[in-house]
Amino acid sequence: MIPRYSRPAMADIWSPESRFRIWFEIEAHATEALADLCVVPASAAKALWDWWATEPAIDVAAIDAIEAVTKHDVIAFLTWVAEQVGDEARFMHQGMTSSDVLDTCLAVQLARASDLLLADLDQLLAAIKRRAVEHKLTPTIGRSHGIHAEPVTFGLKLAQAYAEFSRCRARLVAARAEIATCAISGAVGTFANIHPAVEAHVAAKLGLAVEPVSTQVIPRDRHAMFFATLGVIAGSIERLATEVRHLQRTEVLEAEEYFSPGQKGSSAMPHKRNPVLTENLTGLARMVRGYVTPALENVALWHERDISHSSVERYIAPDATITLDFALARLTGVIDKLVVYPERMARNLDRMGGLVHSQRVLLALTQAGVSREDAYRLVQRNAMKVWESDGALSLLELLQADPEVTAALSPEEIAARFDLGYHFAQVDTIFARVFGD
Amino acid sequence: MIPRYSRPAMADIWSPESRFRIWFEIEAHATEALADLCVVPASAAKALWDWWATEPAIDVAAIDAIEAVTKHDVIAFLTWVAEQVGDEARFMHQGMTSSDVLDTCLAVQLARASDLLLADLDQLLAAIKRRAVEHKLTPTIGRSHGIHAEPVTFGLKLAQAYAEFSRCRARLVAARAEIATCAISGAVGTFANIHPAVEAHVAAKLGLAVEPVSTQVIPRDRHAMFFATLGVIAGSIERLATEVRHLQRTEVLEAEEYFSPGQKGSSAMPHKRNPVLTENLTGLARMVRGYVTPALENVALWHERDISHSSVERYIAPDATITLDFALARLTGVIDKLVVYPERMARNLDRMGGLVHSQRVLLALTQAGVSREDAYRLVQRNAMKVWESDGALSLLELLQADPEVTAALSPEEIAARFDLGYHFAQVDTIFARVFGD
Amino acid sequence: MIPRYSRPAMADIWSPESRFRIWFEIEAHATEALADLCVVPASAAKALWDWWATEPAIDVAAIDAIEAVTKHDVIAFLTWVAEQVGDEARFMHQGMTSSDVLDTCLAVQLARASDLLLADLDQLLAAIKRRAVEHKLTPTIGRSHGIHAEPVTFGLKLAQAYAEFSRCRARLVAARAEIATCAISGAVGTFANIHPAVEAHVAAKLGLAVEPVSTQVIPRDRHAMFFATLGVIAGSIERLATEVRHLQRTEVLEAEEYFSPGQKGSSAMPHKRNPVLTENLTGLARMVRGYVTPALENVALWHERDISHSSVERYIAPDATITLDFALARLTGVIDKLVVYPERMARNLDRMGGLVHSQRVLLALTQAGVSREDAYRLVQRNAMKVWESDGALSLLELLQADPEVTAALSPEEIAARFDLGYHFAQVDTIFARVFGD
Amino acid sequence: MIPRYSRPAMADIWSPESRFRIWFEIEAHATEALADLCVVPASAAKALWDWWATEPAIDVAAIDAIEAVTKHDVIAFLTWVAEQVGDEARFMHQGMTSSDVLDTCLAVQLARASDLLLADLDQLLAAIKRRAVEHKLTPTIGRSHGIHAEPVTFGLKLAQAYAEFSRCRARLVAARAEIATCAISGAVGTFANIHPAVEAHVAAKLGLAVEPVSTQVIPRDRHAMFFATLGVIAGSIERLATEVRHLQRTEVLEAEEYFSPGQKGSSAMPHKRNPVLTENLTGLARMVRGYVTPALENVALWHERDISHSSVERYIAPDATITLDFALARLTGVIDKLVVYPERMARNLDRMGGLVHSQRVLLALTQAGVSREDAYRLVQRNAMKVWESDGALSLLELLQADPEVTAALSPEEIAARFDLGYHFAQVDTIFARVFGD
């Protein structure tokens, strides 16, 4: 966890206090269920909840000190709780195994983290939508291979981002369901010493599904799927961040990250305004993606479990969720405050001497009866002259002066193909697909 | 593509012939739709389909030869088709861009590959279920950390695998939906020169959804999610393969891969029978997982697209699907023919002098009023003696001879905790959860 | 192996024929050494080499047919050779294990592959050096964050690439040494049935080092290091490829991949000339990097070996070396034929109204006694005006008109800081460091 | 950074205080060199060092507070130092750019981290060597595929580990040299405003090499190589950890992690002693390997630099080095205190009824004139009976009773092949190779 890339609400989920609180709730709910089954006295559950009602502070240091001796975290915790609650506490954890607590706790934490991430995505989607609508018809050049292709609108770029993050949201909802399961099934998952009703009770109280079959642990294919999904979302963050970085390049400068008063772009060069937020997002995306492989390697535990997954999850569960939370919020801020330069977009769009209209002429020639190969050759030979002039020459004028072209199309027919609005006829259709009507 | 790890049906999806056939169908369906819109003559679509009805061979070498000059694969293909079909072919590809064809083709290929993989999973699930039912009550030791824990049944191990691969199946269904989309939207996704109705027509004909907003390409977050899902499935394959490898270890030998007559385990050691299929599956899983990272890196294309994703997909689309198909089939065979040794399972289960019952005694002591800490200490000190005797001593006898223990429990009460059947009381419950009633 | 991304010499190393030829040489050299030790008759070695001297064709299909029965590749090969050579062949493989042959063969293949890659790097370095010298003093703008920073020369960019690939070359020499070892040590590496002298003999004949201690196999940390090194080289390829892609962007266009006559940039847009080679290199780099993780996962084989590494190496050994070979050659071609536009570089350099000189003014102000903070503020406030004018305003003129600036520096002193040549004073120094004197 | 997996000396390298101290030293050394060049007054360097001689505390919070405004860490630091040192401080950082400080600082930190890791490796090597010598001739079964193969000694297993970690050490020495370079070359690496002599001076003072050509930053292929090397070392850790995990399995139990008094293996099962340290090492290895991919992705920065690498390095530079340091120390402890059970090794070795000697009989038959194929068949048919009896039958007795075998070898000749010592004849040779004489 890097403080500079973390936000309090998400970081809090992963604090020792939060973890111990969830552990307690699992144990207390389970004791309650055990009491209902007459396995333990009802007074045991009552004692636990009574103590809890006093809103006790969790003494993390004391628990850690016990663990230094027992080398077992759950036993250390149970010992500490027993010291607080007294004799009735000995009924806690009856028939359970540590992993029942640890894995169910992780499920709660990941579910809560998912909820924060879903809220982040909602805010990001709202920001993208707002800017998409604002720039629905702001013309800008579409680029393939970094090379001018044909006109699009800036709103369309954002509509694509909206659709992409909507997919990310749906994936995260599915990923949340993957990990939001509860297992209270005992040492090897047989419920030998604990009735399935306990699991059902705890699951219901914590808003989790029941794990159909666990071993000692909840199977790690669930977590692998979860972290893989975060990795995919990180990829989408990188994509939008890269778009902004490109747009802010000195020679392009069609949009720019907001640059706050007092900010310094460079210690050496006072003129610099750099897309540092989106570059940062590119790096953060690498990290979130980097956690996917360890998560995939965690699946193949030995037999009913080994504990190799545990250290991995101590890193990646907080780091992946905290980093992604920060990244989504940062990206929302970037989009929200993005400074857009429509006039520069227009200038860039015009700079290639009308090359962006080459395809329409090609199609017109074909429809006028020229073979596809000839049409391509005719347009390309004029387009290349414009290209080599760096936009100083006009494609329209060259075509109108090419007798092989004018043999098929009149100058007026050619000129009619140089119409920007033509390209935006379907923007409404696309917006309706993406944002609904 | 490694021939030794590929099966014909899946490999065929990725042959040049298959690709060109799909390209043709996309172009012909699109021409049909363009004819309906009166953009091209109806005779153009007819000419294409008439030629197709002759079931023409695809001359891959001829198309490659054209590409060597044009350095553009779709143009090469269109040129070759035009040579076959004649003049009417010039109306093909009207208003489309290469990626319309390439990406929609990839969608068809990945959807077909998904269908094969789903069938593979169904066969694997059937094999697992059959063996799970067969061994529903075959007792075996459950192991955590590779160390004997408590009894389970071999059927429970397989029930867990069944549940895991059922999740994999559901994930693959979702992943298939991610990539089964059609984009026919022109050079930068604006439909500038092609009406959305063409896209809708082609999508319907090919069984694909319409891509809500494309740029020049279908967004690669879809493919990232697809390959990440394959990686997760590979993790589950590795898990079950690792289980078999462990069970076949000389000292364990509770199950064994089928060893066919004539097979040689080692060129030097005639006595060897090795779990080579499951070791191989472990390696294949590494490969399928290895393709996840390049797929994630493919998401952040520049602006409306760059072509960096293309070479990656030429590797991973065939390699990941072919390898996974082979691995699922191989795993199915392993499970189907797995030689299981219930008597050896029973012997291993007994070898630790009753240590597997230690928890039940612990619980009984607690319920008899001993504090949890004392109970743990009492059981542990006797268990350690058994452990150090490597199972030569009997935990039951030691406990019955320990006065601190017998102060709380009578010898008969202790003996009652050494009952194997007790552990399997919930097997029906778990089977019902996993396989339904 | 993707034919489109492979070159014959490298692909040939990985053909079945090449593999079987190396196997034979290992077996024959070993038989020779065994004969010297009087373990087998000298006639056995002679019979093998006599047959080999007839330059026999390797019947891959026949060997594969035998393997289909034995399910063991080395036994199949030995059987086939015995069929060709006759009775004397039974002395082959005496005391050896399959892995002695397989691993030593892989060492030979990887060493040969390394030699090709080293030759590739030499050609790349030569191309980079030639262009670096050519453009040693071609001014161009240096960019950090994609934003104009200060002037560099195009030769300096290439000098950096030269230094980077020189490091890659040194790393590859080290990686080659990692994997070029020979193990002929028997079933578990004890030389129980084969004297170490055999290993020493085979190693010497094949130009390999002796593996100090093997188990059944050569340890896979060696191969992990090898493939990790290829991954790092791929990263450097991506870096230089990305530089070219950026330089070719329409708005920048300072350099361009060579565009051959007849080439078509787009099926739809005749005007396009795209950096497809370097985009392709970006994708190929992803693949070579993607093979690093499986190679790392291969290290932790069980006990004296398991065979999980084998399938992984069947993919990545050919795929990583063939892809990297192709990529290095392609990059060499790109650099060799790169079309450089010095006049466009000059125009871009000038477009920001002299902002590139801002730091020199800052330093001059500081040296004239202005505090660093004030100096920064003074320069920044003028620089921002130029920035916002998109280079229409002149930083020099604004500074000369700013009384707070002129209080410290005369207009002439300011103007003296706007000197391009000043930035290149150390180019000779850097070139001497990189290329030697 | 996970406190539970970090050790103070390594963690300290990455504290904000340490970073700021290194920054100061870089700036002060540079100012000194600038004074030698008469670019700044000698009093400036003196003022800095005089202040430093007072051993001032670094007020991290104050620096952070300034950064919150400037959004630039180096500027914030310089501002804070200027507040402490006074007016002379304005000469600091003259002609330098932030990356000169940041990258050189990172080089110092990684070099120091490398030194700790090298010391860790030395301790690990010493522990392995001690135990290898101790168990040089302790017989144990060698296993391929987890199946009994032929005898080895436990010392040989450790000799292999020693050789592997010796290679890791050599790789780390090389990796350290990769990143221990100093760049003080200004905004785009041209030394435009700072003489190369400054760089040389700072490099010499800090024990670094001079970076031959930097851009704004030290090229990241160096760091990629560094972290890839750590990933390979992690693979070797996993390998040795996996060996221990296997040896501790209940059915094998040839060695065991030390289990300290008071330790609890399981909250539910008092009898458990689990290989939790080596399982933990397996997980930590996954993490260190997981950092390789982000490091590889960091190489391709845009033009003279972008800052995407920075956030990645804020995670992986501390996390990879701290985790690896912890893991190496933990592994050293495991090996140092490993409880080895030679008598259990002997029992396991004997349990397969002499199957481990099958190859020697095979060879003896071949040398007695039986064809390889027949010899294999004869041995295999007897070996399989032993195998199926789970070691209850004796291979020696079966062979002595097989007339086809005794036709070639007398019972005494057969018995002579069942000699354990025979397998260890070359142990001295191997030890000499690994440990020297």
The predicted structure's pLDDT at residue D240: 98
Q: What residue type is assigned to position D292 of the chain?
A: V
Whether pLDDT at B259 is above 90 = no
- H helix or E strand, kind and range, residue D208: none
The predicted-structure confidence for C135-157, as pLDDT tens digits, reads as follows 999 999 999 999 999 999 999 99
The predicted structure's pLDDT at residue D269: 60
Residue found by looking up tokens 């202040």 in the block? D51
DSSP state, A421?
G
The predicted structure's pLDDT at residue B331: 98
The predicted-structure confidence for C390-430, as pLDDT tens digits, reads as follows 788 999 999 999 999 999 999 999 999 998 889 999 999 99
Is B160–A236 a contact, with Cβ atoms under 8 angstroms apart? no
CATH for A355-417, options being 3.50.30.50, 1.10.8.60, 2.120.10.30, 1.10.40.30 = 1.10.40.30
Question: Do the beta carbons of residue B207 and residue B257 sit within 8 Å?
Answer: no
**Band of residue C269 on the pLDDT scale cut at 50, 70, 90:** low
CA distance A288 to chain C (A): 16
C-alpha to C-alpha distance for A235 and A229, rounded to whole angstroms: 10
Is A308–D279 a contact, with Cβ atoms under 8 angstroms apart? yes
Is B72–C264 a contact, with Cβ atoms under 8 angstroms apart? yes
Q: What is the mean pLDDT of residues C22-43?
A: 96
Please name the member of B69, B78, B286 whose beta carbon is closest to the beta carbon of C297. Answer: B286
C-alpha to C-alpha distance for C353 and C397, rounded to whole angstroms: 10
The predicted structure's pLDDT at residue B108: 98
CATH 1.20.200.10 correct for D95-346: yes
Question: What residues in B contact C26, CB-CB < 8 Å?
Answer: none
Q: For an interface test with B, give the residue of A121, A221, A437 to mutate (most B CBs within 10 A).
A: A221
Please name the member of B248, B359, B386 whose beta carbon is closest to the beta carbon of D269. Answer: B359
**Class of D1-94 in CATH:** mainly alpha
CA distance D372 to chain B (A): 10
Percent of chain A with pLDDT over 70: 97
The answer to whether C142 faces chain B, any CB pair under 8 Å, is no
The answer to whether D310 faces chain C, any CB pair under 8 Å, is no
**Band of residue A262 on the pLDDT scale cut at 50, 70, 90:** low
The answer to whether A423 faces chain B, any CB pair under 8 Å, is yes
Residue of B nearest to C187 (CA): B268
Phi, psi of A195 (to 5 degrees): -80, 145
Residues 190-219 (D) with a CB less than 8 A from some CB of A: 193
Please name the member of C90, C152, C229 whose beta carbon is closest to the beta carbon of D372. Answer: C90
Q: Do domains A96-346 and A355-417 have the same CATH topology?
A: no
Is A196–B429 a contact, with Cβ atoms under 8 angstroms apart? yes
The answer to whether A346 faces chain C, any CB pair under 8 Å, is no
Is C146–D302 a contact, with Cβ atoms under 8 angstroms apart? yes
Question: Do the beta carbons of residue C93 and residue B267 sit within 8 Å?
Answer: yes
The predicted structure's pLDDT at residue D179: 98
Give the alpha-carbon dihedral of A256, A258, A263, A269, to 10 degrees: 10
Beta carbons within 8 Å of B128's beta carbon, 6+ residues apart: B158, B161, B162, B165, B335
Is A422–B163 a contact, with Cβ atoms under 8 angstroms apart? no
The answer to whether C323 faces chain A, any CB pair under 8 Å, is no
Considering only A233-237, A430-434, B74-78, which range has the smallest mean pLDDT?
B74-78
The predicted-structure confidence for A276-320, as pLDDT tens digits, reads as follows 999 999 999 999 999 999 999 999 999 999 999 999 999 999 999
Q: What is the CATH number of domain B97-258+271-346?
A: 1.20.200.10
To 5 degrees, how large is the angle CA B80–CA B82–CA B88? 170
Task: Give residue limits of the domains in chain D.
Answer: 1-94, 95-346, 355-417
Whether pLDDT at A268 is above 60 = no
Q: What residue type is assigned to position D172 of the chain?
A: L
Is A395–C271 a contact, with Cβ atoms under 8 angstroms apart? yes
Question: Do the beta carbons of residue A149 and residue A58 sit within 8 Å?
Answer: no
Query: Where are the extended beta strands (E) located within B84-240?
Result: 139-144, 147-153, 181-182, 209-210
C-alpha to C-alpha distance for A158 and A130, rounded to whole angstroms: 9
Is C264–B293 a contact, with Cβ atoms under 8 angstroms apart? no
Q: Which residues of C102-124 are buried (b: 16+ CB within 10 A; e: fewer)?
A: bbbbbbbbbbbbbebbbebbebb
Q: Alpha helices, DSSP H only, in C307-410? A: 308-337, 342-350, 358-367, 372-388, 395-400, 403-406
CA distance A40 to chain C (A): 46
The answer to whether A64 faces chain D, any CB pair under 8 Å, is no
Question: What residues in B contact D384, CB-CB < 8 Å?
Answer: 271
D266 catalytic residue (yes or no): yes
The answer to whether A248 faces chain C, any CB pair under 8 Å, is yes
DSSP state, A182?
E
**Band of residue C72 on the pLDDT scale cut at 50, 70, 90:** confident
Packing angle between helix A221-248 and helix B221-248, nearest 10 degrees?
150
Beta carbons within 8 Å of B279's beta carbon, 6+ residues apart: B241, B245, C306, C307, C308, D145
Of these residues, D144, D145, D271, D303, which one is catalytic?
D145
Measured between alpha carbons, how far apart are the two ends of chain C, in Å?
A: 42
Q: For an interface test with D, give the residue of B269, B277, B349, B384 to mutate (most D CBs within 10 A).
A: B269
Q: Is A21 helix (H, G, I), strand (E, B) or coil?
A: helix
**Band of residue A359 on the pLDDT scale cut at 50, 70, 90:** confident
C-alpha to C-alpha distance for C314 and C151, rounded to whole angstroms: 48
The fold of the C3-260+268-346 domain, in CATH, is Fumarase C; Chain A, domain 2 (1.20.200)
The predicted structure's pLDDT at residue D79: 93
Half-sphere exposure of B15 (CA within 13 A, CB side): 14
How far does CA A137 lie from the centroid of its chain? 28
D145 catalytic residue (yes or no): yes
**Band of residue A90 on the pLDDT scale cut at 50, 70, 90:** confident
The answer to whether A353 faces chain C, any CB pair under 8 Å, is no
Measured between alpha carbons, how far apart are the two ends of chain B, in Å?
A: 42
The answer to whether B68 faces chain A, any CB pair under 8 Å, is no
**Band of residue A108 on the pLDDT scale cut at 50, 70, 90:** very high
Residue found by looking up tokens 């797929």 in the block? B295
Is C280–B307 a contact, with Cβ atoms under 8 angstroms apart? yes
Q: Is B339 helix (H, G, I), strand (E, B) or coil?
A: strand
Chains in touch with A (3+ beta-carbon pairs under 8 Å) read B, C, D
A293 conformational bin, left if phi > 0, alpha if psi -120 to 50, beta if neither: alpha
C-alpha to C-alpha distance for D33 and D122, rounded to whole angstroms: 37
Percent of chain B with pLDDT over 90: 83
C-alpha to C-alpha distance for C181 and B313, rounded to whole angstroms: 35
Please name the member of D2, D269, D293 whose beta carbon is closest to the beta carbon of A315. Answer: D2
The answer to whether A272 faces chain D, any CB pair under 8 Å, is no
Q: For an interface test with B, give the residue of D147, D266, D302, D361 to mutate (most B CBs within 10 A).
A: D147
Question: What residues in A contact B132, CB-CB < 8 Å?
Answer: none
**Band of residue A193 on the pLDDT scale cut at 50, 70, 90:** confident
The predicted structure's pLDDT at residue A284: 98
Of these residues, A15, A43, A72, A266, which one is catalytic?
A266
With CA atoms as reference, report the closest residue to D239 among C221, A313, B144: C221
Q: What is the CATH number of domain A96-346?
A: 1.20.200.10
The predicted structure's pLDDT at residue A179: 98
The answer to whether B90 faces chain C, any CB pair under 8 Å, is no
With CA atoms as reference, report the closest residue to D139 among D161, D155, D127: D155
Whether pLDDT at A71 is above 90 = no
